[in-house]
A and B are shown apart, each in its own frame.
Chain A
Amino acid sequence: MHRYIPNTEADVKLMLESMGAKSIEDLFQDIPKELRLNRELNLGESLSEMELAKHMKDLSGKNKSLDDLVCFLGAGAYDHYIPSIVKHLAFRSEFYTAYTPYQPEISQGTLQVIFEYQTMMCSLTGMEATNASMYDGATACAEAATMAVENTKRKSIIVSKTVHPEVRKVLKSYMKLRKVEVIEADMAEGVTDIDHLKTLVGKNTAAVIIQNPNFFGIIEDLSSVEKITHENKGLFINYVDPISLGILKTPGELGADIVVGEGQSLGNHLNYGGPYLGFLATTSKLLRKMPGRIAGQSEDVDGNRAFVLTLQAREQHIRRYRASSNICSNQGLNAVMATIYLITMGKKGLREVAKQSIQKSHYAMQQITKSSSFKPLFNKPFFKEFAVTSEADSSKVNQELLKQGILGGYELGKDYPEMKNGLLLCVTEKRTKEEIDKLAQVMEVI
């Protein structure tokens, strides 16, 4: 008897009798003998809860976590503070043990949270519509590119080299399927090279994708990109960090047609890379081309306000082979966490997080480059991340930092060979002056 499987031998006997079967084995006679696994699975014996807890604790203890390390690593996954109530509320089991809200009468909790999520994501991005979230930022970006291809009937996507390398890789894997070419626009001094971009954008361009703040943390000047893109009737896709929207102009105001990004920094733990949530927001004009679930407001037969999944005619389970995306799920629970986070931080808190990140990252940059050993890779306005370089091998720098209990930066040389000793550091509101000073001290003597 297993604790998760309640029916006893007596129950089984009763049940079998009621259907005229002799044994459970009778119920598996339809599987041809030669296809039966006539042996035990080669797995361990069942563990008790205590044994499991110990095993998992031991295994997790083999990792160094943010409990052990002070984190200056970002590059798409961020150590922002998560208020305690996020876990207490999101992990109410009425939320996390529910399925997709296909029976809206008993799913108003999930549906209303999605509606509130949509409202706040629209407001943050300055867009008119958003879906209920997607797998992650990278796949959301690939879905946005697909939207652009479908909408413009063009077969070329231009993406800046300042977009996160993994986002570009995922984009290429997806576009290859559709035989859509992905052209990378060069960078100059840490930002998209506008002159090069101009030579690339043309009648075949379905969309131009720019990350802002870009992979190096630098705030790009989007006005000329927007102009070039729209003059050529392409769509302008922005990949953004939602925390930066606490202080920067909205992509909507800057003329974006589709806004995507990684929502992890909104109340979600790092989780070794997932689950996170991708977001995708767009204009009313493109709403019906948008993939993924959407919640909408309606009313019930008594005239009470009520929410339902809506515009489902766009989705795969209805469109089947005519679908342009096969996504079924959203990152429901992650979106609940993001929603609670945004509400908790609220009007003033999110701005404060963004401001402190700016102050602290600039202080860190100043401290690190004070001595002659490290210098900035670029001289451009940045948000919470910045790149530095030195004579020292970046992996050696990180090893030294690790010895001091510091999780160092992202080694840029992996993706940008020309930045061999480049390190991308991230400073969020969580870092203290003391931690930053220590980082600078350790780096100074390497």
Chain B
Amino acid sequence: MQKYNKLIFEVSKEGRTAYSLPKCDVDEAALDQMIPKEFINEEELDLPEVSEVDVVRHFTLLSNKNYGVDTGFYPLGSCTMKYNPKINEDVAALGGFAGIHPYQPQETAQGALQLMYELDKMLAEISGMERVSLQPAAGSHGELAGLMIIKAYHDDRKDYKRTKIIVPDSAHGTNPATVAVANFDMVEVKSDQNGAVDLNSLKEVLSDEIAGLMLTNPSTLGLFEENIKEIADLVHEAGGLLYYDGANMNAILGKSRPGDMGFDVMHFNLHKTFSTPHGGGGPGSGPVGVRSDLVKFLPVPVIEKKEDQYVLDYDRPDSIGKIKAFYGHFGVMVRAYAYILTMGKTGLTEVSEKAVLNANYIMNKLKKHYHLPIDQVCKHEFVLGGLAKSTLEVSTLDVAKRLLDYGYHPPSIYFPLIVEQAIMVEPTETENLQTIDGFIEVMIQIAKEADENPQILKNAPYDTPVRRIDEVKAARNPILKWKRSE
């Protein structure tokens, strides 16, 4: 079944249909009486002609060529591929949530507004922030909103010379890209040998031109930034603000809060920490939270409670404005809200405890077979530096491809950039010991194969719907859509 290799355009046959519509029941007028001829496309649409069964088979067979969390273990570092609860899909699909129009009168959407208001409060409690705007569409969008808020803060104080944002060299590429999009200059700060922010390097770059520092904690190496208080003090003394990238929040729920660490602005990734499905690349949701004096800068609208009514408040003169149509990814919020209620206060803490336990367990079992650059307690994830017996022949990419044959999704690879041959493992809390042991066994087996017969790894995978793909060819001669063969 996995060898199915047809595009829907190749299934298409003239005259077939998969749709049905009722007959038009109003008095029909001639089209050109309503719309001038020069606006009409006289040609037939170039879309497929297939039956309903064709569509169902096509997508079912395509889904067989995909691997999701429901298929198996997905230890993709920094992505938090935890189980996506099914009940959350059911509740998000309720007519009262999925079938409401963004512009319908607010008094007819009180349930939706209440949900958003309460989710804002729950995320604020979890993070130690004052308020949270649910508008950003994804983590990267939350970062952009966050930097816009930092800019608005300095502008509000007429402190116009603050044009620089500090980003550690271990950061994900999105952080520097957001700095660029928000039109700040970027200053990179080096990591020390433990992957933490190097305090001396930080002191060197701090000045009255610094608008802020972007950081994730635990760091991208999965290690808690122990000097965070000192870092926060240094940045604050220099007049800058601290931005928290919430990518790694799964490690600290109920244990420690960004607000208490000294962060002023942050984003959450509801699709990571709060279990909403990644959807094969989206939709995500990246709410942005702020400390109390920054609330006035949040994007409009903010949801407020006036007497017993929830309302959308647009009357916020200091706001950074509108960053997205409507109010954000409401459907994703419903799932995250349901997740938080399901876990409750003790459940969320247990999430982080078990996520951290699972990561440390795997790290300890693998460190004899793979290079572990920093051997200390990790948080929810850890980073290996390729095989312990480094051979020039076998790369991290080969290890990842070989894992596919054994039925596992590989960890994140070649990230962070500060570790060579990086393999970033994040098991999450939703995996059981048998699954984890199975993965460890296979990782050790692969290390053995690399030693004894590297060619097995070089040619992997063998047992996947397609084998290693020529990516250079795809980029050199881009074929980005199907063309009918002549």
CB–CB B326/A108 < 8 A: no
Q: Any chain B CB within 8 A of the CB of A189?
A: no
Q: Which of A190-198, A203-211, A227-235, A241-249 contacts B (4 or more CB under 8 A)?
A: A241-249
**B interface residues, how many (CB within 8 angstroms):** 194
Complex formed: what's the CA distance from A30 to B39 in Å?
67
Shortest Cβ gap from B121 to chain A (Å): 9
CB–CB A34/B112 < 8 A: no
Are A269 and B181 also in contact (CB < 8 A) when A59-B115, A103-B410, A343-B48 are? no
Shortest Cβ gap from B163 to chain A (Å): 12
Residue-wise, chain B 410-441 has the 8 Å CB interface mask toward A (1 for contact) of: 10000000000000000001111100000000
| Range of interface residues on A (Cβ < 8 Å) | 35 or more
Complex formed: what's the CA distance from A398 to B101 in Å?
14
A112-133 contacts to B, CB under 8 A, are 112-113, 115-116, 118-120, 122-124, 129-130, 132-133
Shortest Cβ gap from A242 to chain B (Å): 11
Residues of B with C-beta under 8 A to A116:
7-9, 482
Contact among B331, B341, B344 for A275, CB-based, below 8 A: B331
CB–CB B173/A317 < 8 A: yes
CB–CB B223/A2 < 8 A: no
CB–CB B348/A270 < 8 A: no
Complex formed: what's the CA distance from A343 to B482 in Å?
14
A338-380 contacts to B, CB under 8 A, are 340, 342-353, 355-356, 358-360, 362-363
CB–CB B180/A112 < 8 A: no
Residues of A with C-beta under 8 A to B151:
177
Complex formed: what's the CA distance from A1 to B480 in Å?
48
CB–CB B46/A60 < 8 A: no
Contact among A96, A275, A325, A347 for B329, CB-based, below 8 A: A275
Complex formed: what's the CA distance from A429 to B284 in Å?
31
CB–CB A323/B181 < 8 A: yes
Q: Any chain A CB within 8 A of the CB of B445?
A: no
Q: Which of B197-205, B251-259, B386-394 contacts A (4 or more CB under 8 A)?
A: B251-259
Q: Any chain A CB within 8 A of the CB of B307?
A: no
CB–CB A44/B345 < 8 A: yes
CB–CB A136/B21 < 8 A: no
CB–CB B70/A97 < 8 A: yes
Residue-wise, chain B 320-339 has the 8 Å CB interface mask toward A (1 for contact) of: 11111111111110100010
Residue-wise, chain A 78-91 has the 8 Å CB interface mask toward B (1 for contact) of: 01010101011111
Complex formed: what's the CA distance from A293 to B215 in Å?
25
Are A333 and B277 also in contact (CB < 8 A) when A346-B17, A358-B31, A362-B34 are? yes
CB–CB B433/A352 < 8 A: no
Complex formed: what's the CA distance from A32 to B226 in Å?
7
Residues of B with C-beta under 8 A to A344:
18-19, 52, 55
Q: Any chain A CB within 8 A of the CB of B41?
A: yes
Q: Any chain A CB within 8 A of the CB of B315?
A: no
CB–CB B183/A46 < 8 A: no
CB–CB B101/A123 < 8 A: no
Q: Any chain A CB within 8 A of the CB of B186?
A: yes
CB–CB B26/A436 < 8 A: yes
CB–CB B283/A333 < 8 A: yes
Which residue in chain A gives the minimum CB-CB distance to B14? A347
Complex formed: what's the CA distance from A305 to B465 in Å?
11
Shortest Cβ gap from B311 to chain A (Å): 14
Q: Any chain A CB within 8 A of the CB of B305?
A: no
Residues of B with C-beta under 8 A to A104:
466, 469
Q: Any chain B CB within 8 A of the CB of A413?
A: no
A135-176 contacts to B, CB under 8 A, are 135-139, 164, 166-167, 169-170, 172-174, 176
CB–CB A173/B322 < 8 A: yes
CB–CB B7/A274 < 8 A: no
CB–CB A52/B342 < 8 A: yes
Q: Any chain A CB within 8 A of the CB of B176?
A: yes
Are A271 and B330 also in contact (CB < 8 A) when A106-B464, A344-B19 are? yes
CB–CB B52/A85 < 8 A: yes
Residues of B with C-beta under 8 A to A46:
342-347
Q: Any chain B CB within 8 A of the CB of A279?
A: no
Are A96 and B279 also in contact (CB < 8 A) when A37-B256, A79-B101, A429-B21 are? yes
Complex formed: what's the CA distance from A370 to B461 in Å?
69
Contact among B26, B101, B467 for A66, CB-based, below 8 A: B101
B222-264 contacts to A, CB under 8 A, are 223-224, 226, 228-229, 252-257, 260-261
Shortest Cβ gap from A427 to chain B (Å): 9
Q: Any chain B CB within 8 A of the CB of A250?
A: yes
Complex formed: what's the CA distance from A310 to B365 in Å?
36
CB–CB B229/A173 < 8 A: no
CB–CB A56/B17 < 8 A: no
Most chain A CB within 10 A, of B74, B96, B281, B321, is at B281
Which residue in chain A gives the minimum CB-CB distance to B34? A362
Which residue in chain B gives the minimum CB-CB distance to A383? B35
Are A331 and B24 also in contact (CB < 8 A) when A36-B255, A321-B179, A358-B35 are? no
Residues of A with C-beta under 8 A to B81:
99
Residues of A with C-beta under 8 A to B410:
103
Q: Any chain A CB within 8 A of the CB of B317?
A: no
Complex formed: what's the CA distance from A434 to B112 in Å?
30
Residues of A with C-beta under 8 A to B28:
359
Q: Any chain A CB within 8 A of the CB of B404?
A: yes
Are A109 and B137 also in contact (CB < 8 A) when A15-B361, A272-B100, A329-B284 are? no
A2-30 contacts to B, CB under 8 A, are 2, 4-7, 11-12, 14-16, 18-19, 21, 24, 26-30
Residues of A with C-beta under 8 A to B285:
275
Which residue in chain A gives the minimum CB-CB distance to B184? A177
CB–CB A358/B34 < 8 A: yes
Are A311 and B180 also in contact (CB < 8 A) when A272-B109, A317-B173, A317-B174 are? no
Are A37 and B474 also in contact (CB < 8 A) when A101-B280, A249-B40 are? no
Which residue in chain A gives the minimum CB-CB distance to B126? A41
Could you write out 19 A-B pairs with CB less than 8 Å apart? A5-B430, A11-B433, A24-B357, A37-B257, A41-B348, A59-B115, A63-B108, A85-B56, A95-B66, A104-B466, A123-B45, A166-B322, A249-B39, A275-B330, A298-B469, A330-B281, A346-B50, A349-B17, A360-B24
**10 more A-B residue pairs beyond the given contacts A28-B255, A61-B96, with a C-beta to C-beta distance below 8 A:** A37-B254, A43-B126, A63-B110, A100-B281, A118-B480, A119-B7, A245-B41, A302-B466, A306-B466, A329-B140
A-B pairs with the 7 shortest C-beta distances?
A: A273-B326, A60-B96, A62-B111, A46-B344, A333-B279, A273-B102, A109-B66
